[in-house]
Structure formats: structure tokens, C-alpha cells
């Protein structure tokens, strides 16, 4: 198995360009941020960005946390890749990762300065310092459940490497880690309830929301809604519309992964006869 490395200081745009470098080297497999990635899919690992501290994040990125080496080696043995691209902030870092996951040296190294201009590197560093956001080289749907409630934004980049080559779309995700110096934030369950109550006001046939129950888990939330509906409407249509709109707006406004919404018609409101 051949090991390629892509090296550059933190915040210079490595993850942003990871898929491009992997394509140049003829490999589908990338190791970045403690994740083993094939194409647009995470094969194994938990993002180092989920760590509570910078020290834990570094240990996880080096595959030095308990159980990590066994997990990644099993995944590599199962996939049997001919080559892997390893991302790191220094030659020492990628060398440690290579030894931990495969027990061998790096075969070939590409440096960020070789593929990015000084202006592009400066812009990437400025964005990191100003917004505290990091790039993970997989689509947002791949990491959404792992980063429920984090600031996560999809990022699609149209790539074209020149005459005679086919263009492609590189899908990535922007996230802000929990250890960011910009501080922590919390979204109360009352915010979710307010969103649901507000959304219900625009749906004809809903008289009122009687009760909202929210169960929170590491990978997202379950929502249970009891609604009183107006007599004379198609109940299934109204409940389906409420569920769809709430799911969409909670995702848009909070970035919380909604695992499921269960909506129950608990009663009917019959208006006065005209």
C-alpha cells in the first residue's frame, strides 16, 4: 500500500483541496481529521473536531487514543486500498499517522505551497481566525448526525483541472469545533417549541399545538407533537404538512439533526355552525 501525504500548517486550506490532491495521486482514500474517507463516504473514525479540547483533538488526529489504531487497521484491512492520502500539519505528524495506521513511512509528500498561492493561503488563514470554521472533505449529510447542533454548512466547489479533463463537484462541509476560541453556544428546547408553534400558525386546519415533547440524543433529537385540528380538513394532509415544515425549519434555523418527528391528532375543534 502506497502512502501519500499532503502537508500544510493548520488553517491553510488542506482539507479544502484534499479531494483534488487525491484525484491527482489516483487514490479514492483520504485520512483527515481522524477520519478514514473513501470518495464522499466516511468508512471509519470519529472526527477530531468533536473533541472537547485541543489536546484531545490532536491525540485523536494522530490515532493515539485508546482503540483507534485497532479500528482504523481493521477498516484498512477490509477495504484493501492500493494507496491512501494522509493530511497533516507537519512532516512529523503525517509520519506518526503513517506508522500508527500502517507501520510504514510516507512514500511521497505534497506541500500546500505547491498547490496554493500565497494569497489563497492567507485568505484561508484569515477565514479560520475570523470565523473559527474548519473544512471536512465529505458531504454534509455524511457528518450531520455526528455534528448535530454544531455550525455546519454544506460547501460545493466546481473543479476543472484543465483542457481534456472532466469537471467534477467536490463536496465538503464547514464546521465550527466545540473547542473554538469563539466560545460555546446552547440552543434551548424552548427554541424548538417556539419554532414549531410559529410554523403551525401558517398551516390552515391546525387549531392549536397542545403539547411538544423533545428527546435529545448525541446524534440528534426526536420530537413528539400533539395537535388539535379543525374539523372538516383532511387530517393526514395537515399532519404531514406540519411534520415536513417543522423538520425543514428546525434544520435551517438550528442545524440540529432531527432524527424523527411524530405528529398526533389529539382532538378536533368544531367551530360554531353558520
Q: Rounded mean pLDDT of 213-220?
A: 82
Q: Rounded mean pLDDT of 129-154?
A: 52
Question: pTM above 0.85?
Answer: no
- Examine the pLDDT at 226 and tell me if it is beyond 50: yes
Q: Rounded mean pLDDT of 72-84?
A: 94
Please tell me if the domain spanning 2-175 has the same topology as the one spanning 189-269.
Answer: no
**Domain ranges within the chain, ordered by starting residue:** 2-175, 189-269
The model's pLDDT over 159-176, given as tens digits with 9 standing for 90+, comes to 444 445 554 444 454 455
Q: Report residue 16: phi and psi, to 5°.
A: -60, -35
CATH class held by domain 189-269: alpha beta
Q: What is the residue-averaged pLDDT of the chain?
A: 80
Q: Is the distance from CB of 264 to CB of 227 less than 8 angstroms?
A: yes
What are the distances in angstroms from CA 252 to CA 147, 149, 197? Answer: 14, 11, 16
Q: Rounded mean pLDDT of 137-141?
A: 49
- Examine the pLDDT at 28 and tell me if it is beyond 50: yes
Q: Which CATH code is given to the segment(s) 2-175?
A: 3.40.50
Q: Is the distance from CB of 229 to CB of 190 less than 8 angstroms?
A: no
Q: Rounded mean pLDDT of 24-43?
A: 88
* pLDDT value at residue 85: 95
- Examine the pLDDT at 178 and tell me if it is beyond 70: no
Report the alpha-carbon distance of residue 86 to residue 243 in Å, rounded: 42
Q: Is the distance from CB of 179 to CB of 57 less than 8 angstroms?
A: yes
Q: Which of 247, 17, 236 is nearest to 112 (CA)?
A: 17
Q: 125 vs 145, which has greater pLDDT?
A: 125
Amino acid at each position: 500500500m502506497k502512502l501519500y501525504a499532503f502537508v500544510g500548517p493548520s488553517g491553510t486550506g488542506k482539507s479544502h483541496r484534499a479531494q483534488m490532491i487525491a484525484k491527482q495521486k489516483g487514490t479514492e482514500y483520504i485520512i483527515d481529521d481522524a477520519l478514514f474517507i473513501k470518495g464522499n463516504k466516511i468508512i471509519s473514525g470519529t472526527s477530531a473536531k468533536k473533541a472537547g479540547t485541543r489536546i484531545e483533538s490532536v491525540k485523536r488526529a494522530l490515532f493515539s487514543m485508546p482503540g483507534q489504531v485497532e479500528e482504523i487497521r481493521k477498516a484498512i484491512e477490509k477495504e484493501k486500498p492500493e494507496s491512501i492520502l494522509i493530511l497533516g500539519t507537519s512532516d512529523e505528524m503525517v509520519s506518526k499517522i503513517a506508522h500508527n495506521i500502517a507501520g510504514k513511512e510516507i512514500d511521497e509528500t505534497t506541500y500546500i505551497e505547491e498547490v496554493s498561492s500565497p494569497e489563497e493561503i492567507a485568505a484561508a488563514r484569515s477565514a479560520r481566525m475570523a470565523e473559527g470554521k474548519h473544512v471536512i472533505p465529505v458531504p454534509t449529510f455524511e457528518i450531520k448526525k455526528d455534528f448535530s447542533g454544531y455550525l455546519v454548512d454544506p460547501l460545493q466547489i466546481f473543479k476543472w483541472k484543465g483542457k481534456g479533463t472532466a469537471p467534477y463537484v467536490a463536496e465538503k462541509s464547514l464546521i465550527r469545533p466545540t473547542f473554538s476560541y469563539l466560545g460555546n453556544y446552547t440552543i434551548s428546547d424552548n427554541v424548538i417549541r417556539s419554532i414549531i408553534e410559529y410554523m403551525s400558525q401558517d398551516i390552515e386546519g391546525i387549531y392549536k399545538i397542545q403539547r411538544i415533547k423533545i428527546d435529545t440524543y448525541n446524534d440528534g433529537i426526536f420530537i413528539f407533537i400533539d395537535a388539535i385540528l379543525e374539523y372538516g380538513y383532511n387530517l393526514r394532509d395537515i399532519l404531514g404538512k406540519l411534520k415536513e415544515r417543522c423538520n425543514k425549519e428546525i434544520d435551517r434555523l438550528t442545524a440540529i439533526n432531527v432524527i424523527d418527528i411524530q405528529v398526533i391528532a389529539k382532538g378536533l375543534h368544531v367551530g360554531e355552525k353558520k
